[in-house]
Amino acid sequence: MIPDSLTATYRILDASINRVSEGIRTIEEYSRFEIESVSHSESFKSLRHQLTRLVNTSLSRSMLLAARNTPDDIGTVIQTKAEYNRTTKIQIVAAASSRIQQSLRVIEEYGKTIDAGFAKEVEQLRYQAYHHCASIERLVPVSRRQRLLEQAKLYLLMDVHEDLEMFVASIRSLAAAGVDVFQLRDKDASDRTLYERSVVAAKLAIELDCLFLVNDRADIAAAADSDGVHVGQDELPAKIARQVIGDSRLVGVSTHTVQEIEQAQIDGANYIGCGPVFGGRTKSFSHYVGTAFLEKAATMTTIPAFAIGGIDETNVNQVIDAGFDRIAVTGALRDAEDPAAAAAHLKAILVN
C-alpha cells in the first residue's frame, strides 16, 4: 500500500532519527571503550540527548510510531557489499560518522515540510555533529585519509612557489575552490625546501580537510608527516614506498598500461594515476595513452583512479565520457588567469 504523504514524511523522519541515534551510539562506545576519551564520549552523548529533546518537543511521537512499518520497509533488505566488508573499527567509526551526518541532513530537509523552526535546530545539530565527527576521525588518520581519497575528484600537482607565503595562499584558495588533493611536485627544489613546504602543507591539509602528498620522495613524505607519497615507474616500488611511509599513509602509483594497473593494485597502492591522456605543457612524453586507455582502466580498477596529462576544461568531458570522474592536473590551474575560478569550474563539471 502506498502511504499518504504525511505518513511517508514521518516514516522518513523516524528511520533517519533511528539511524542518527545508532550512529551516535556506535561512536560513543568507541570513544568510551576503545580510545577512552571522556570528552569525545561526552560530546556524542550530549548530541544524542539534544536530538531526543528536539524530537520530543517538535514532533509527534505517536505519529512517528504509527508511521513505523519495518516489515514493509524495502530498505531493510538493501544491504551494500561495503557494509559486510567493514572489517576494522576505524571503518566502523567512519561509516557511523557519515551515517550521522547524512541522516541529520535528511531530517533537516524533510523536517522543513513539518516545522521550519525544527529544521533550523536540526541544522545547528548537524554542524555540531560535523565538528565532533571530524574531531574523532582526526584521531584515526587512516579513516580521514581514506574518506578524503574516496571523495576526491580534483587533484593538483603543484611546485614550491616563489615563497612559503604564496605557497600557503595558493593551497588555501584552491582548497576553497574545490581542489581535494595537493601533491608537491617540483623537480628543481632542494630537499630542504621540499621538506619545509611539506611540513606546512601537511598541517594545512588537516585544517582544510583535504589531502597533501609528496611526489617521488617517500622519505620526505614520512618525515613531514604528510598524507602520503606518489611514485612512478622509475621511483621506489609501491611496496617499498609503503614500508618507508607506513600503513596509515597513502601510496599513489603512476600507470600507463593495463599491466601496471594490475601490479599497482597487487602492491597495495591506494590510488593510481592513469596517463598521459593528452599532451600538456608540464611534461612531454613520446606516447600518449588517450581516452581508449581510460576506457579500459575504468573497467578494471578497484581503487580510485585519476586521469592525468593535459587535462583542462576543453577536454575534461572526453575523460568523463571514458568513465573517469577524477582528474589530476597541473597546467589547467597553474596557467589559468584565475586558478581558483578554473578549479571551481573543473570541479563543478566533475561532480555533476
Ligand X SMILES: Cc1ncc(COP(=O)(O)OP(=O)(O)O)c(N)n1
Which positions lie near Mg ion, rule CB under 5 A? 216, 232
**Residue 97 burial by CB count (10 A; 0-12/13-18/19+): exposed, middle or buried?**
buried
How many whole angstroms separate alpha carbon 110 and alpha carbon 92?
27
User: Taking CB under 6 A as the rule, does residue 275 contact ligand 3NM?
Assistant: yes
- In the stretch 300-319, what mask flags binding to ligand 3NM with x, by CB under 6 A? --------xxxx--------
Residues paired with residue 307 on neighbouring β-strands, in sequence order: 274, 327
Cα 341 from chain centre = 21
Of 252, 304, 310, 339, the one binding ligand X (CB under 6 A) is 252
141-151 vs 89-111: helix axis angle to the nearest 10?
50
Distances in whole angstroms, Cα of residue 346 to Cα of each of 158, 160, 210, 212, 249: 16, 23, 17, 19, 27
| 235 marked as binding residue | yes
CA dihedral 190, 283, 336, 277 (to 10 degrees): -140
Which does residue 331 bind out of ligand X, Mg ion, ligand 3NM, none, counting CB within 5 to 8 angstroms by kind?
ligand 3NM
Of the pair 27, 184, the CB lying nearest ligand X is at: 184
Mark the segment that binds ligand 3NM (CB under 6 A) among 12-20, 91-99, 104-112, 275-283. Answer: 275-283
Q: How far is Cα 348 from Cα 172, in angstroms, rounded to an integer? A: 18
Q: CB–CB of 253/231 below 8 Å?
A: yes
Is 270 flagged in the annotation as binding? Answer: no
Contact with ligand X (CB under 6 A): which of 297, 328, 342, 350?
328
Nearer to Mg ion, 253 or 316 (CB): 253
Q: What does the block give as the cell for 291? A: 581516452
Residue 239 among known ligand-binding residues: no
Copy the grid coordinates of residue 174: 584552491
- Residue 259 labelled as part of a binding site: no
Q: Considering only residues 320 through 339, tell me which ones interact with ligand 3NM, judged by CB under 6 A.
A: 329-332
150 marked among binding-site residues: no
| Stretch in the footprint of ligand X (CB under 6 A) among 31-39, 57-65, 229-237, 292-300 | 229-237
CB nearer to Mg ion: give 232 or 331. 232
Q: How far is the CB of 255 from ligand X (least distance, A)?
A: 8
Measured CA to CA in angstroms, residue 327 lies from 12, 173, 213, 337 at distances of 36, 19, 15, 20
Please, which of residues 164-223 interact with ligand X by CB under 6 A? Answer: 183, 185, 215-216
Q: Is 157 in the site for ligand X (CB under 6 A)?
A: yes
Q: Among ligand X, ligand 3NM, Mg ion, none, what does residue 23 contact (CB within 5–8 Å per kind)?
A: none
| CA 255/CA 308 separation, integer angstroms | 10
CB 88, CB 141: distance < 8 Å: no
Residue 183 labelled as part of a binding site: yes
111 binds ligand X (CB under 6 A): no
Q: 304 is in the binding site of which of ligand X, ligand 3NM, Mg ion, none (Cβ under 5 to 8 A by kind)?
A: none
- Which residue type occupies 202? A
CA angle 74, 77, 83 (to 5 degrees): 130
Residue 173 corresponds to which amino acid?
S
Q: Which of 43, 63, 67 is CA-nearest to residue 55?
A: 63
- Of 44-52, 101-109, 228-236, 315-323, the segment contacting ligand X by CB under 6 A is 228-236
Tell whether residue 331 is a contact of ligand X (CB under 6 A).
no
The piece of 138-146, 193-201, 227-235, 284-292 that touches ligand X (CB under 6 A) is: 227-235
Question: Residue numbers of the site for ligand X (CB under 6 A)?
Answer: 155, 157, 183, 185, 215-216, 230, 232, 235, 252, 254, 273, 283, 306, 308, 328
Question: Residue numbers of the site for ligand 3NM (CB under 6 A)?
Answer: 157, 254, 273, 275-276, 280-283, 308-311, 329-332
